[in-house]
Amino acid sequence: MKNYGIIIPIRLASERLPNKAIMEICGKPIVCHLLDRAYQSSFIRSKKQVVVCTTENIEDDQLVQIVEDYGASVFRGSTNDIIKRFYDAIMWHSFDAVIQIDGDDPLCDPQYMDLTMQNLIDDPTLDIVTCQDLPLGIGSKSFTKEAMIKVYQSYKTTDNDTGFIYYFTKTNICKNKIIKPIKEEHILHSARLTLDYPEDFNLFKNIYEKLYDGKNIFTLDDILNLLRSHPNLLKININMNEIYWQRTKEKASLTYKDEGGKIKKII
């Protein structure tokens, strides 16, 4: 039987919104809201298969305690080299393939988690499956252990905290399949549902206070219906998108070694 897991990179020393993963909404740390959604994946038989990949820095000790108390596993590794952190975590847990969720995405959708993994399983020639055209913060990725090994053997930039996924998707290292929204209603380009800035936190707070009943996981349709019926919510953080993508462009300076041994930069 194949061993599947979920890996989530999180560290508390964020330069834009420090300690965001343990900030509380509706009486619960944001990381726990994210774990609730990860636990919904049909590929997860035990909460321990969900692994928060954090650092060995002392400031992440509080995160470790919260995550372990909530039932998930923790792997501690490199601070800025997420490729190595992921590689070490996958090898430690002997995962054959993983769903990868960003720690900034507490509304990441379980249905698309499973879609990426199922597409990966159905086609043995694939290395990774990603989502496209969903609101930022909703999609996830799934990739094989072999894909992780390929990237680990090829990447050169060890400060890859921003843009690490480009090694899988914007090089010739891996074969990627892109899945689109399963219905038109899941497309809402004006929605920014990732957590980087105080404005993002305010939007999440509004969404949870309106939809969260204390126990059940509300759906992507619930979220998008709320945003469409309350368009002022979208204005809370819409100006953050330009800042977000400009920062990504500036910080994601990544190099790798191609099959011929030549060092290339990811464009």
pLDDT digits (tens, 9 = 90+) for 221-241: 999 999 999 999 999 999 998
* Phi, psi values for residue 197, rounded to 5°: -130, 160
pLDDT of residue 243: 85
H or E element, residue 100: strand 97-100
CA dist., res. 210 & res. 213, Å (int)? 9
pLDDT of residue 267: 79
**Which fold is adopted by the domain 4-265?**
Spore Coat Polysaccharide Biosynthesis Protein SpsA; Chain A (3.90.550)
Torsion sign (Cα): 167, 169, 173, 174: positive
pTM of the model: 0.95
66 pLDDT higher than 90: yes
90 pLDDT higher than 80: yes
Look-up of token digits 């100006």: 239
Domain ranges of the chain: 4-265
pLDDT bin (cut points 50, 70, 90) of residue 14 is: confident
Q: How many CA atoms lie within 13 A of 35 on its CB side?
A: 26
Mean pLDDT of the chain: 96
Mean predicted confidence (pLDDT) in 149-154: 98
249 pLDDT higher than 90: no
Give Cβ neighbours of residue 106 (< 8 Å, ≥ 6 apart).
30, 31, 33, 34, 37, 195, 204
